[in-house]
Amino acid sequence: MPDISEAEIPYEVLVRLAASEDEPGWTLAGAHIQTRRILRIDGVVRADEIQPARPLGAQDGPVVAALIAHFQQGGAA
């Protein structure tokens, strides 16, 4: 029986900021993430697909959650 494994790993993060002359602070306007889905059979990569972008959330890991919190609190880049 073949050894089949599948993993989904972060590929790209897009953070959209909102700032204007009237309000120069950095405000989070939106954030999305794309991941790569990798399928291996007997250690050989058989599929490597970039998944569609989806809204970023705290479920995407502690580093990403910290980034979101930083900008939601008005932190500078």
pLDDT in tens, 19-72: 777 766 667 788 898 989 999 999 999 999 999 999 987 777 776 777 777 777
Q: Kindly state whether residue 77 falls inside one of the protein's structural domains.
A: no
Q: Kindly state whether residue 39 falls inside one of the protein's structural domains.
A: yes
3-state secondary structure of 1: coil
Q: Kindly state whether residue 65 falls inside one of the protein's structural domains.
A: yes
What's residue 77's pLDDT? 56
Separation CA 53–CA 51 (nearest Å): 6
Separation CA 38–CA 60 (nearest Å): 17
Counted domains in the chain: 1
Its domain, for residue 63, covers: 4-72
Separation CA 53–CA 36 (nearest Å): 11
pTM check: above 0.75: no
| Pairing of the two strands 4-18 and 27-41 | antiparallel
Separation CA 12–CA 4 (nearest Å): 25
